[in-house]
Chains A and B, each alone.
Chain A
């Protein structure tokens, strides 16, 4: 393969054939077509379908500045040393005001720019509260079709969005770092339930031990996830990365789901998100006497919002 693979763009090969041959420009194009759900996308998705389900999808999420990109950078290094190829989707938030985005995750992943075995694409969240657009899910498939062994997903998250990323990654790593606010928040937001591995990054900083012991005791008290490993890392120095790799492998080995099951789960997630958006818009804006009646019931205490929602859902 050449540096860019441009020469491989021989006349007659389809885009997906070029992707399968590892041509970087073709992978870039496929990512974009799927990201934007272009007119060509349905055909491309059908063409890549036979090649999907090989890649392991690892999600890194956590509050802004916790060191996600730096840790991903170090993790990529470990994967490369083990001979694995890597695709990265690095999501940063879009500005709700301008719609623009400053995509800066690559600043911390600069070690791998020259490596043909690593392909990094930055993605703007474009208003999706989850920080993870459905586009990211289609882009996982693009990397999978390109034969990447591991697809890494970096998303900023606090609370709900961390839970969203969890739904699409096979292995879910949730980062925290000392000095990023109340650790009780972490427990409230439900990350303990979704994390396969918890990481306290910036273990070189004061306060790391406190963050670590708070997380560890919260895990120990959790009824469902008492075995979740809690690790310390110093992403800037590569410390704790070998342990992280070992834990990821251990989690992966404990799984029995087939790739197809995982993909169907992801699709169901997308459907659930889209349905939630649709229902929200309908319930908020549609003029409908039935909805008005359910609102009356909520206001005068005859039913809880949950009961009213259930009645509405069952009626349609």
Chain B
């Protein structure tokens, strides 16, 4: 098996929701168009705890975690970023989709979130962004040595 084949596996993306908001229509739509773009999407129910998202990302060995946020759930993101890092998942890229006020966006980016997709962003842009972050995550991951 060549290295090229090894790298050609589809991006793996966890699509999830944290916090109290249970409206998962948006995340379902995103999940299905990422699938249609050739990605392997792990889908979860809403209301995941931070620790559960970390656990899911770890068990599923995903490249990207996509968190959908409609209310103020995105304020939990710095906590999630820290928890991922502590679990040794620093290579995993995180994106947020939903309604995030500008002042909060700065907070999220500071915490290490790769991108915030605001309402109205086209699916092409989301697919392109996620694919690129997935490639970056894979690259970082492959630099960890398997001994």
For chain B, which range describes its interface: under 10, 10 to 19, 20 to 34, or 35 or more residues?
Answer: 35 or more
Taking the closest CB of chain A, its distance from the CB of B39, in whole angstroms, is 5
* Known A24-B59, A28-B59, A36-B6; contact A103-B41, beta-carbon cutoff 8 A: yes
Contacts of B42 in A (CB 8 A): 103, 106, 122
Q: CA A122 – CA B6 in complex, angstroms?
A: 18
Contacts of B59 in A (CB 8 A): 24, 28, 119-121
Q: Is B132 an interface residue (CB 8 A)?
A: no
Q: Is A3 an interface residue (CB 8 A)?
A: yes
Q: CA A116 – CA B105 in complex, angstroms?
A: 34
Q: Is B82 an interface residue (CB 8 A)?
A: no
Contact check, B86 vs A101: say whether CB atoms are below 8 A apart: no
Q: CA A39 – CA B5 in complex, angstroms?
A: 10
Contact check, A32 vs B1: say whether CB atoms are below 8 A apart: no
Contact check, B45 vs A110: say whether CB atoms are below 8 A apart: yes
For the complex, would chain A's binding face be called helix, strand, loop or mixed by DSSP majority? mixed
Q: Is B94 an interface residue (CB 8 A)?
A: no
* Known A38-B6, A124-B10; contact A110-B44, beta-carbon cutoff 8 A: yes
* Binary contact readout B20-42 vs A (1 if CB under 8 angstroms, 0 otherwise): 00000000000110111111111
Q: Is A44 an interface residue (CB 8 A)?
A: yes
* Known A36-B6, A39-B6, A103-B43; contact A122-B60, beta-carbon cutoff 8 A: yes
Q: CA A4 – CA B49 in complex, angstroms?
A: 15
Contact check, A98 vs B55: say whether CB atoms are below 8 A apart: no
Taking the closest CB of chain B, its distance from the CB of A48, in whole angstroms, is 13
Q: Is B146 an interface residue (CB 8 A)?
A: yes
Q: Is B18 an interface residue (CB 8 A)?
A: no
Q: CA A9 – CA B144 in complex, angstroms?
A: 12
* Known A33-B146, A38-B6; contact A99-B87, beta-carbon cutoff 8 A: no
Contact check, B146 vs A40: say whether CB atoms are below 8 A apart: yes
Taking the closest CB of chain A, its distance from the CB of B68, in whole angstroms, is 15
Q: Is B139 an interface residue (CB 8 A)?
A: no
For chain A, which range describes its interface: under 10, 10 to 19, 20 to 34, or 35 or more residues?
Answer: 35 or more
Contact check, B38 vs A99: say whether CB atoms are below 8 A apart: yes
Q: For A119, give the chain B residue with the smallest CB separation.
A: B59
Q: CA A83 – CA B12 in complex, angstroms?
A: 32
Chain A CB count within 10 A is highest, among B36, B52, B55, for B55
Q: Is B104 an interface residue (CB 8 A)?
A: no
* Known A3-B55, A4-B54; contact A102-B35, beta-carbon cutoff 8 A: yes
* Known A36-B6, A38-B6, A100-B39; contact A107-B44, beta-carbon cutoff 8 A: yes
* Known A32-B61, A39-B6; contact A3-B1, beta-carbon cutoff 8 A: no
Q: Is A218 an interface residue (CB 8 A)?
A: no
Contact check, A29 vs B146: say whether CB atoms are below 8 A apart: yes
Contact check, B1 vs A38: say whether CB atoms are below 8 A apart: yes
List the 3 closest A-B pairs by CB distance, nearest first: A6-B88, A100-B35, A4-B87
11 contacts between A and B (CB under 8 A): A6-B87, A25-B89, A28-B60, A39-B1, A95-B35, A98-B36, A98-B38, A99-B10, A100-B37, A107-B44, A124-B40
Which residues in B have some Cβ–Cβ distance to A below 8 Å?
Answer: 1, 3, 6, 9-10, 31-32, 34-45, 48-49, 51-52, 54-56, 58-61, 86-89, 146-147
Which residues in A have some Cβ–Cβ distance to B below 8 Å?
Answer: 3-4, 6, 9, 14-15, 24-25, 28-29, 31-33, 36-41, 44, 94-95, 97-104, 106-107, 110, 113-114, 119-122, 124
